[in-house]
Amino acid sequence: MSATALRHDWTLAEVRALFQQPFNDLLFQAQGVHRQHFDPNRVQVSTLLSIKTGACPEDCKYCPQSGHYNTGLEKEKLMEVQKVLEAAAEAKAIGSTRFCMGAAWKHPSAKDMPYVLQMVQGVKALGLETCMTLGRLDQEQTRALADAGLDYYNHNLDTSPEFYGNIITTRTYGERLQTLAYVREAGMKICSGGILGMGESVDDRAGLLIQLANLPEHPESVPINMLVKVQGTPLAEEKDVDPFDFIRTLAVARILMPKSHVRLSAGREQMNEQMQSLAFLAGANSIFYGEKLLTTGNPQADKDMQLFARLGIQPEAREEHADEVHQAAIEQALVEQRNGELFYDAATA
């Protein structure tokens, strides 16, 4: 099978046609594309930490951290650098290779930037890949983060340009694209995706993926989130996403962006093991690992490793993160699964 060519000129008609394929045909195509570029039984594992929580001035209708809504979330100031580094060390100990830090800001302030840069440098020194999401950046801030060693910058587009105004009014789509352009200019990798289940149409899902796939370079990481409905936000009563529609979107993302890591992100707490397994078959090959995604629940690490063992999946490793003890624990879990006695103790990792 010849390698799938990378394209940056997808049309709405083409992407609609992908979404309209029979489900089995779409997954078969996506899995074929996936195998051309990735080991189908490896999944990249990241941990996400909220380094500053709540009181965000943005009005994103899905977000419990927005200061516009009363969700009962306690506001927290920027974490101390040492506490962030301790959390990063714990994440590495349970098998994460990338540590992502998120702050509920419209944009980082001049007084906070020195602490943010220290976090990047400290996490990098632990041998982890670094990722941050801090809101809109200017060129100077972007260069400073790159100089500190930041590997990835996360800045989601959330949805299509056409639907975007129904979800957010305090930041334009153009501003989001400009931040992504600054990140590329500074030499960092991009993590950018969106959210399903906000009332958008299939064309909106297609439009989001087209925006990402038609960037001059595909994002290295594409998180596909399922809306986590939080009381107090305007989307708290939104209709659930059909699981097959969610899997279809993952598969189309894989086809459009063959070399990108497609991340099964927020909403995994609501997904059963069968749905997650289909997600991996559709080409998802990255997850967030740990008990929380910023402020919402996430499957516990040991449950993730149990599912990996049952599926014969292993965490994708960075060379400097090749932890023999963790690898041995995974291999033992696989052996015990074959013996019908599945057990994985995260404390040994």
Which positions make up the binding site for [2Fe-2S] cluster? Answer: 100, 131, 191, 263
Catalytic residue among 98, 131, 254, 268: 131
Max Cα-Cα span within the chain: 57
Angstrom CA distances, 33 to 91, 103, 222, 263, stand at: 31, 35, 16, 16
Determine whether 16 is an active site residue: no
Collapse the DSSP code of 262 into the 3-class scheme (helix H, G, I; strand E, B; otherwise coil) and give the result.
strand
Task: Enumerate the known binding-site residues for [4Fe-4S] cluster.
Answer: 56, 60, 63
Collapse the DSSP code of 148 into the 3-class scheme (helix H, G, I; strand E, B; otherwise coil) and give the result.
helix
Determine whether 268 is an active site residue: no
DSSP secondary structure, 25-82, as one string: HHHHHHHHHHHHHS-TTEEEEEEEEEEEBS-BS---TT-TTBTTS---PPPBPPPPHH
Determine whether 191 is an active site residue: yes
Q: Which residues contact 147 (CB under 8 A, 6 or more apart)?
A: none
Determine whether 254 is an active site residue: no
Alpha-carbon distance of 333 to 344, in angstroms, equals: 6
Determine whether 136 is an active site residue: no
Task: Enumerate the known binding-site residues.
Answer: 56, 60, 63, 100, 131, 191, 263
Q: Phi and psi for 191 in degrees, rounded to 5?
A: -120, 110
Catalytic residue among 98, 100, 136, 248: 100
Determine whether 60 is an active site residue: yes
Residue 10: how many other CB atoms lie within 10 Å: 20
Catalytic residue among 98, 205, 248, 263: 263
In a 10 Å sphere around its CB, with 0-12 CB exposed, 13-18 middle and 19+ buried, how is residue 95 labelled? buried
Q: Are strands 194-196 and 152-154 parallel, antiparallel or unpaired?
A: unpaired
Alpha-carbon distance of 225 to 258, in angstroms, equals: 19
The torsion defined by the Cα of 180, 181, 183 and 187, in degrees rounded to 10, comes to 140
Q: Catalytic residues, which ones? A: 56, 60, 63, 100, 131, 191, 263
